[in-house]
Amino acid sequence: MLNYAWLVLIFPLVGVIINTFFGRYLGKRGAGILASAMVGLSFVGAVWMFAELLGLEDRVVTRPLFDWISVGDFNVQVKLLIDPLSSVMAVVVSGVSFLIHIYSIGYMAHDERFVRFFAYLNLFVFAMLTLVLAENLLVTYVGWEGVGLCSYLLIGFWFERKAAADAGKKAFLVNRVGDVGFALGLMMLFVTFGTLSMSQVLEQAMVVRLMPGVATAIALLLFVGAVGKSAQIPLYVWLPDAMEGPTPVSALIHAATMVTAGVYMVARTHMLFALSPTALTWVAAIGGLTAFFAATIALTQHDLKRVLAYSTISQLGYMFLGVGVGAYAAGIFHLTTHAFFKALLFLGAGSVMHALAGELDIRKMGGLRNKIPVTFWTFLFAALAIAGFPGLAGFFSKDEILWQTFANGKTLLWALALLTAGLTAFYIFRLVFTVFYGESRVDKKVAAHIHESPKVMTAPMAILAFFSVIGGYIGVPKILGGSNWIEHYLDGSLGWHAPEAAIAETAHASAGTEWALLILSVIVALAGIGLAYVFYVRRTDLPTRVAKSLGGLYTLVYNKYKVDELYMAVIVKPLRAVGKFFAESVDGPVVDGIAEGIAALVALIGRGLQALQTGLARNYALGILVGAVLLLAYALVR
Amino acid sequence: MAIDLQVLAPEAIILAFVLITLFIYALGSKRSTTLMGWLALAGVVLAGAASLYYWGDTAPTFQGMVAADGYGLFANLVFLLAAGLAILMGLEAVRRFDLPAEVFVLVLIATLGMMLLGSAVNLVAVFLALEILSIALYVLTASERDEWRSLEAGMKYFILGGFASAFLLFGIAMIYGATGTFSLAEIGAKGGSLWALRDAPLLAAGLVFLLIGFAFKVALVPFQMWTPDVYEGAPSLVTAFMSAGAKAAGFVALIRILETAFPYWRAEWGWVLAVIAVLTMSWGNMAALGQRSVKRMLAYSSIAHAGYIVIGLAVAARTGYASVLFYLICYTLMNVGAFAVVMAMGRKGEPNEDLDDYTGLIRRKPGLALAMALFMLALAGIPLTAGFLAKLYVFSAAVVEGYAWLAAVAIVNAVISAYYYLRVAARMFFGEARAEAAPVHVSAPLGFVVALTSLATVFLGVYPAPLLEFIQAAIRPLVGF
Cα distance from A28 to chain B (closest Cα, Å)? Answer: 22
Q: What pLDDT is stored for residue B400 in this prediction? A: 87
**Does a structural domain hold residue B334?**
yes
Chain A contact for B174 (CB, 8 A cutoff) = no
Q: With an 8 Å Cβ cutoff, is A623 touching chain B? A: yes
The reply to whether residue B160 touches residue A621, judged by beta carbons under 8 angstroms, is: yes
pLDDT at B261: 87
Tell me what the mean pLDDT of segment B245-263 comes to.
91
* Number of Cβ pairs < 8 A linking chain A and chain B: 89
Q: Which of A20, A116, A622, A631 to mutate to test the interface with B (most CBs of B within 10 A)?
A: A631
Backbone angles phi, psi at B195, to 5 degrees: -60, -40
Residues from chain A that touch B165, judged by Cβ atoms under 8 A, are none
Q: How much is the average pLDDT of A103-109?
A: 90
Asked if the model's pLDDT at residue A498 lies above 70, the reply is: no
Residue B315 is assigned to a structural domain of this protein: yes
The beta-strand segments (E) located in A340-484 are: none
What residue of A is the nearest CA neighbor of B225? A620
Which chain A residue is nearest to residue B413, measuring alpha carbons? Answer: A602
Chain A: residue whose CA lies nearest to B201: A636
Q: How far is A68 from chain B (nearest CA, A)?
A: 6
Q: How far is CA A546 from the centre of its chain?
A: 35
In this structure, of A41-45, A115-119, A498-502, the range with the lowest mean pLDDT score is A498-502
CB-nearest to B208 from A602, A610, A632 is A632
Residue that wins the pLDDT comparison between A605 and A378? A378
Nearest CA in chain A to B162: A621
Section A476-504 average pLDDT = 70
Residues B323-342, mean pLDDT to the nearest whole number: 94
Q: Specify if B127 maps to a domain.
A: no
Radius of gyration of chain A (CA): 28
Angle among Cα B35, B38, B44 to the nearest 5 degrees reads 140
**Which chain B residue is nearest to residue A68, measuring alpha carbons?**
B463
Range of the domain at B445: 275-481
pLDDT at residue A285, rounded to an integer: 94
* CB contact (8 A) between residue B212 and residue A607: no
The Cα of B106 is separated from the nearest Cα of chain A by a number of Å equal to: 24
Pairwise CA distance, residues A530 & A390, whole Å: 15
Q: Is B367 part of the contact surface with chain A (CB cutoff 8 Å)?
A: no
Q: Does the residue B300 lie in any domain?
A: yes
Task: Quote the CA–CA distance of B309 and B215 in Å, as a whole number.
Answer: 12
Short-list B46, B153, B17, B25, CA closest to B94:
B25
pLDDT bucket at B60, cuts 50 / 70 / 90? low
Most confident region among A443-447, A453-457, B57-61 by mean pLDDT: A453-457
A195 or A506: whose pLDDT is higher?
Answer: A195
- Candidates A598, A613, A619, A638: best to mutate against B (most CBs of B within 10 A) is A613
Q: Convert the pLDDT of each residue in A209-218 to its tens digit.
A: 777 788 889 9
Summarised one tens digit per residue, pLDDT across range A12-33 is 999 999 988 888 888 888 889 9
- Whether residue B133 lies within 8 A of chain A, CB to CB, comes out as no
Q: What is the distance between the alpha carbons of residues B311 and B334, in angstroms, rounded to a whole number?
A: 20
The answer to whether the CB atoms of A609 and B287 lie below 8 A apart is yes
pLDDT band at A501 (very low <50, low <70, confident <90, very high): very low
Dump pLDDT digits (tens) for B130-166: 999 999 999 999 999 888 899 999 999 999 999 999 9
Q: Which of A617, A621, A627 sits opposite B212 (nearest CB)?
A: A627
Does residue A93 carry a pLDDT above 90?
yes
Q: Which residue in the set A602, A613, A624 is minimally distant from B216, CB to CB?
A: A624
From the list A262, A273, A268, A327, the residue with the least C-alpha distance to A84 is A268
Confidence check: pLDDT of B58 > 70: no
- The C-alpha atoms of residue A539 and residue B410 are separated, in whole angstroms, by 77
Write out chain B residues lying below 8 Å of A138, CB-based: none
End-to-end C-alpha distance for chain A, whole angstroms: 65
Strand partners, A61: A82
pLDDT digits (tens, 9 = 90+) for A276-299: 888 999 999 999 999 999 999 998
Averaged over A393-414, what is the pLDDT? 89
Nearest C-alpha in A relative to B392: A71
Average pLDDT, integer, range A453-457? 89
Q: Is position B146 within any domain?
A: no
Once rounded to an integer, what is the mean pLDDT over residues A528-534? 90
Cross-chain residue pair B228–A613, CB shorter than 8 Å: yes
CA A262 to chain centre: 6
CA distance to A402, A526, B20, B110, B142, per residue, from B26 (Å) = 90, 96, 10, 20, 21
Contact A117, A104 (CB under 8 A): yes
Mean pLDDT of A406-413: 88
Look at residue B129 and tell me if it is in a domain.
no
- Give the C-alpha separation, B337 to A313, whole Å: 49
Chain B: residue nearest A635 by CA?
B204
Does position B281 have pLDDT exceeding 90, yes or no?
A: yes
Residue of A415, A108, A133 whose CA lies nearest to A291? A415
Are B350 and B144 in contact, with CB atoms under 8 Å apart?
Answer: no
Q: Is B267 among the domain residues?
A: no
Contacts of B216 in chain A (CB under 8 A): 624
Let me know if A367 is exposed, middle or buried by CB neighbors in 10 A (0-12, 13-18, 19+): middle
A613–B contact, CB cutoff 8 A: yes
Mean pLDDT of chain A, nearest integer: 87
C-alpha separations of B478 from A67, A500, B66, B400 in Å: 25, 55, 14, 20
Report the pLDDT value the prediction gives residue B336, as an integer from 0 to 100.
96
| Chain B: closest CA distance from residue A10 (Å) | 15
Q: Is A619 on the interface with B (CB under 8 A)?
A: yes
Is residue A62 predicted with pLDDT exceeding 50? yes
Longest CA–CA separation in chain B, Å: 71
Nearest residue in chain B measured CA to CA from A624: B223
- Band (A505; pLDDT cuts 50, 70, 90): very low
Is the CB of B290 inside 8 Å of chain A's CB atoms? yes
The A residues from 262 to 281 touching B (CB cutoff 8 Å) are none
Average pLDDT over all residues of chain B = 89
Which residue of A602, A620, A632 is in closest CB contact with B225?
A: A620
| Digit-coded pLDDT (tens) for A153-206 | 999 899 888 989 999 999 998 998 899 999 999 999 988 888 888 888 888 877
Residues of B in contact with A605 (CB under 8 A): 286
By the CB < 8 Å criterion, does B23 face chain A? no
What stretches of A302-372 show up as alpha helix (H) in DSSP? 304-324, 328-355
> Tens of pLDDT along A261-271?
999 999 998 88
Helix, strand or coil, per DSSP, at residue A78: strand
End-to-end CA distance of chain B: 28
Does residue A605 register a pLDDT over 90? no
Q: What is the ipTM of this complex?
A: 0.86
Whether chain B has a CB inside 8 Å of the CB on A618: the answer is no
Residue B375, domain member (yes or no): yes
Nearest chain B CA: its distance from A188 CA (Å):
23
Number of domains in chain B: 1
Of B222, B225, B268, the CB nearest to A638: B268
* Interface probe with A: pick from B141, B151, B208, most Cβ of A within 10 Å: B208
Collect all residues of chain B within an 8 Å Cβ-Cβ radius of residue A634.
208, 272
**How many angstroms separate the Cα of A490 from the Cα of each of A43, A200, A327, B11?**
20, 20, 11, 61
Looking at residues A100-129, what average pLDDT do you find? Answer: 91
- Tell which of B286, B401, B462, B469 to mutate to test the A interface (max A CBs under 10 Å): B286
Most confident of A142-151, A467-476, A493-502, A582-591: A142-151
C-alpha pair distances (Å), B407 with each of A329, A399, A460, A535, B400: 49, 59, 57, 72, 10
At A314-366, the pLDDT tens digits run 999 999 999 999 888 899 999 999 999 999 999 999 999 988 888 888 888 88
Per cent of chain A over pLDDT 90 is 39
Q: What is the DSSP string of A144-210?
A: HHHHHHHHHHHHGGGTTSHHHHHHHHHHHHHHHHHHHHHHHHHHHHHHHHS--BHHHHHHHHHH---
Residue of A nearest to B165 (CA): A624
What is the C-alpha separation between B44 and B106, in angstroms, rounded? 13
Per CB-CB distance under 8 Å, the chain B contacts of A609 are 283, 286-287
Whether chain A has a CB inside 8 Å of the CB on B324: the answer is: no
pLDDT, residue B56, reads 66
Cβ separation of A612 and B225 shorter than 8 Å?
Answer: yes
Q: Are the Cβ atoms of B212 and A638 closer than 8 angstroms? A: no
Confidence (pLDDT) at A503: 43
Shortest Cα distance, chain A CAs vs residue B288, angstroms: 7
pLDDT at A500 (0 to 100): 44
